[in-house]
Amino acid sequence: MSNETPAAPLATQPAGEGDDAVLSARRLSTLAQGELRGHVTALLVRALATVAPEAAPALVVVDRPKVAAHGDFSCNLAMQLARPLKRSPRDLAQALIDALPQSDWVVAAEIAGPGFINLRLAPHASQRVLPVVFERAGRFGHSSAGADVPVMVEFVSANPTGPLHVGHGRQGALGAALCELLEATGHRVTREFYYNDAGVQIENLARSVQARAREAAGEQFEFPADGYHGQYIRDIAADFIARKTVAAADGEGVLASGDVNDFEGIRRFGVAYLRHEQDMDLQAFGVRFDNFYLESSLYADGSVAGAVRALTEAGKTYEHEGALWLRTTEYGDDKDRVMRKSDGTFTYFVPDVAYHVSKWKRGFRAAINIMGSDHFGSTTRVRAGLQGLALGIPADYPRYLLHKMVTVMRGGEEVKISKRAGSYVTLRDLIDEVGRDAVRFFLVSRKADTEFVFDVDLAKAQTEENPVYYVQYAHARICSVIQQWGGDEASLAAAPFDRLAGERELALMRRIDDFPLTLATAAADCAPHLVAFYLRELAAEFHGYYNAERFLVEDPAVCMARLALASATRQVLRNGLGLLGVGAPEKM
């Protein structure tokens, strides 16, 4: 038996008190847990109130046993409480079983091993999930567990210095899916893209474009040592010389002057060009944002200078060797960090501090940043700056979801470069080769902090080894069965569900009932991969059922019941795929 929630000491604190502003999986409503798990949890909470009223109900967590023969649900509550209550785990388990309220859903409660409580359900209990699926349809699995908390999710936030690469794609897929999950669990989500349109990198971009423009004009040029290479720089230079207009994010076009000496004009045109290209890539990827925030605005409105001034006045900075340092060691950093270099320019984390002050002042008490793991060092510095400002911002603000990069493989060999970008594989390359659905599903199919190998050949394969194909095929298969039947799908909501008593049918219904908790846990843990895992398991349950049973049988009651179960499964597959930004095709 296993329990993902760590054992906790005996507590009298009400569940949820002191929780993070973002959904806590320990205070899930029954709706968020699912019909079956919610009912069993409620029974155990009532038993706990009888046996140990001083214990927190949040300790009651039920899981699926690893071995199906052990029952439908398992709980290690007795093992958690044995030491603080000074009782034998098995004796305490028996006391909890004896205190369980009567329920016609539970047909047996048994003690296993050192003190697990295993519970078995009646078939009609599992059947109860189907009317809920038909009633809630596209909102099945959704809940209000997030309590309408406003959350800012910042993701992608690519520098406008080149096309989006596959790492940005992983951020986009993770961020978009997480936002959908947070909304599905009752949060008010704002999706924000933070443009680093100021600093040395933008300077290097402009100088790179200027050098290529001079090259195209037949002039002498010196390419910057830290300049950007790739065909896209030549494309920008050619359009600048041709005096083209590029669409800007604010709706106003940026017209190129064509003058290779117009450095500021080249900078504005280059940034607008790449912002537009990134917007087009994100649109092709199906990723949207509610707001775009410019780093340059933080300098223009005095936010950066104000943050530095406030930290200095608070005694959190000092001068050394001509640079201004922040005392980040007061907040857990291994050494103090430079804020303003000796040449007067600010290091990259300083505007980030000002930016997060903006988030806080805009009312976002919960903020999640999705970034590459190479930004790990900045997390401590940004948080230290926020703490030094003494604005009442929590020490763990913002919450970071750091992801590792992606290795792209084709034909057993790593793909390292793009024809256009030169030095890396672009997101658009991947979309063009395998399609948006495969890219979106694959990039959320592993935990964010794990290395990920994107196998192009697998993503294009039409076999059960390809996870997105396997899941989508289950959906298409159900559509085909219902189309062959040709009846009124609305009538399936009134099917005789009591005819679904086979082991495969009960297992499939139990899997459907797990969907709400999967969404709630994925949102709470910032773990969209849990939904991808779930969909593969649900698809496997259905494919096994499909291969073992016929749907269009002569007995009309059995036929209707099996079609209803298939229809409910299709609805859950569609709901889950939609949250991941993946299509649910009716034919394949």
Instruction: Report if residue 338 sits inside a domain.
Output: no
Mean pLDDT value across the chain = 91
Number of CB atoms found within 10 A of residue 12's CB: 8
Asked whether residue 506 falls in the same domain as residue 570, the answer is: yes
Asked whether residue 411 falls in the same domain as residue 493, the answer is: no
Asked whether residue 444 falls in the same domain as residue 468, the answer is: no
Q: What is the mean pLDDT of residues 118-135?
A: 96
CB 3 within 8 A of CB 113: no
Residue 118, pLDDT above cutoff 60: yes
Percent of the chain with pLDDT over 90: 84
How far apart, in whole angstroms, are the C-alpha atoms of residue 451 and residue 465? 19
pLDDT number for residue 249: 65
Confidence of residue 2 (pLDDT cuts 50, 70, 90): very low
CA atoms within 13 A of residue 104's CA, in its CB half-sphere: 2
Q: What is the DSSP letter of 346?
A: B
Output the CA angle 108-25-9, nearest 5 degrees.
Answer: 75
**Residue 167 phi, psi (nearest 5):** -60, -40
Residue corresponding to tokens 């100021």: 198
pTM of the predicted structure, to 2 decimals: 0.90
CB 436 within 8 A of CB 176: no
Asked whether residue 266 falls in the same domain as residue 215, the answer is: yes
pLDDT digits (tens, 9 = 90+) for 247-283: 876 667 899 999 999 999 999 999 999 999 999 999 9
Instruction: Report if residue 543 sits inside a domain.
Output: yes
Asked whether residue 436 falls in the same domain as residue 534, the answer is: no
pLDDT digits (tens, 9 = 90+) for 82-92: 999 999 999 99
Cβ-count burial of 578 within 10 angstroms (0-12 exposed, 13-18 middle, 19+ buried)? middle
Asked whether residue 564 falls in the same domain as residue 513, the answer is: yes
Instruction: Report if residue 452 sits inside a domain.
Output: yes
Asked whether residue 211 falls in the same domain as residue 252, the answer is: yes
Cβ-count burial of 56 within 10 angstroms (0-12 exposed, 13-18 middle, 19+ buried)? buried
Nearest to 261 by CA among 211, 201, 198: 211
Percent of the chain with pLDDT over 70: 94
Instruction: Output b/e per residue, 428-460; b: 16+ Cβ within 10 A.
Output: bbbbebbebbbbbbbbbbbebeeebebbbebbe
Last residue of a domain, one of 444, 459, 474: 459
Number of CB atoms found within 10 A of residue 394's CB: 15
Instruction: Report if residue 97 sits inside a domain.
Output: yes
The DSSP H or E segment spanning 363 is: none
Last residue of a domain, one of 82, 104, 121: 121
How far apart, in whole angstroms, are the C-alpha atoms of residue 266 and residue 209? 7
Q: Which residues have C-beta within 8 Å of that of residue 211, sequence separation ≥ 6? A: 221, 222, 223, 224, 227
Confidence of residue 1 (pLDDT cuts 50, 70, 90): very low
Instruction: Report if residue 11 sits inside a domain.
Output: no
Residue corresponding to tokens 């349809």: 137
Asked whether residue 425 falls in the same domain as residue 485, the answer is: no
Asked whether residue 472 falls in the same domain as residue 441, the answer is: no
Asked whether residue 474 falls in the same domain as residue 573, the answer is: yes
pLDDT digits (tens, 9 = 90+) for 95-117: 999 999 999 999 999 999 999 99
Higher pLDDT, residue 416 or 488: 488
Last residue of a domain, one of 225, 253, 285: 285
Instruction: Report if residue 307 sits inside a domain.
Output: no
- Domain with residue 476: its CATH number is 1.10.730.10
Asked whether residue 276 falls in the same domain as residue 245, the answer is: yes
Local structure of 159: helix, strand or coil: coil
CB 546 within 8 A of CB 464: no
Asked whether residue 441 falls in the same domain as residue 471, the answer is: no
Q: What is the mean pLDDT of residues 417-441?
A: 91
The DSSP H or E segment spanning 131 is: helix 129-136
**Taking the mean position of all CA atoms in its chain, how far away is CA 465?**
23
Structurally, how many domains does the chain consist of? 4
Instruction: Report if residue 214 sits inside a domain.
Output: yes
- Domain with residue 39: its CATH number is 3.30.1360.70
Residue 9, pLDDT above cutoff 50: no
- For 31, the domain range is 25-121
Instruction: Report if residue 301 sits inside a domain.
Output: no
